[in-house]
Amino acid sequence: MIWGLIGTAFERPTTKDFVWSCWFGKSPWCYNFIFFLLTIVFVTFLLLFWLAFRDPKIVPGKFQYVMESGMEFVRQQVVLSMIGPEGAPFFALLATFFFFILLGNLLEVTPFIMFPLNSRLAFPLVLAVISWVTYNTVGIRRHGFLGYMKLVMFPPGAPWWMYVLLAPIEFISVILVRPLTLSVRLFANMVAGHFLLAVFFLGSIALFTGIPYAFGLVSFGMGIVLLVFELFVAVLQAFIFSVLSASYIAGAMAAEH
Amino acid sequence: MVGLAIHLAGLLAATLGTPIGKGLVYGLAAIGPGIGIGILMGKSVEAMARQPEAAGIVRGTMFIGIGLIEALALFGFVLSFIIT
Residue A188 in contact with partner chain B when CB distance is under 8 A = yes
A16 vs B45, residue with greater confidence: B45
pLDDT at A3 > cutoff 70: no
Return the residue in B40, B66, B78 with the most chain A beta carbons within 10 A, the one to mutate for interface testing.
Answer: B78
φ, ψ of residue A22 to 5 degrees: the values are: -70, 145
Read off the DSSP letter of residue A172: I
Query: pLDDT value at position B44?
Result: 96
- Cβ distance B63 to A236 less than 8 Å, yes or no, reads yes
Q: What is the pLDDT of chain B when averaged over all its residues?
A: 86
pLDDT tens-digit readout, A118-141: 999 999 999 999 999 999 999 999
CA B67 to chain A, closest CA, distance in angstroms equals 6
φ, ψ of residue A154 to 5 degrees: the values are: -120, 75
Read off the DSSP letter of residue A113: T
> If contacts are CB pairs under 8 Å, which of residues 45-74 in chain B contact chain A?
60, 63-64, 66-68, 70-71, 74
> If contacts are CB pairs under 8 Å, which of residues 84-113 in chain A contact chain B?
none
Helices A163-171 & A122-153, crossing angle to 10 degrees?
A: 150
For residue A22, what are the β-bridge partners? A32
DSSP A187-200: HHHHHHHHHHHHHH
CA B2 to chain A, closest CA, distance in angstroms equals 30
Number of CB atoms found within 10 A of residue A144's CB: 12
- Cβ distance A240 to B64 less than 8 Å, yes or no, reads yes
φ, ψ of residue A32 to 5 degrees: the values are: -125, -165
Number of CB atoms found within 10 A of residue A210's CB: 16
Report H helices in chain B. Answer: 2-15, 19-50, 55-82
C-alpha span between A70 and A47 (Å, rounded): 15
ipTM metric? 0.76
Confidence of residue A186 (pLDDT cuts 50, 70, 90): very high
- Cβ distance A240 to B74 less than 8 Å, yes or no, reads no
Single pTM value for the model: 0.87
Is A118 within 8 Å of A124 (Cβ atoms)?
A: yes
Please count the residue pairs, one from chain A and one from chain B, whose beta carbons lie less than 8 angstroms apart.
Answer: 41
Q: Is A19 helix (H, G, I), strand (E, B) or coil?
A: coil
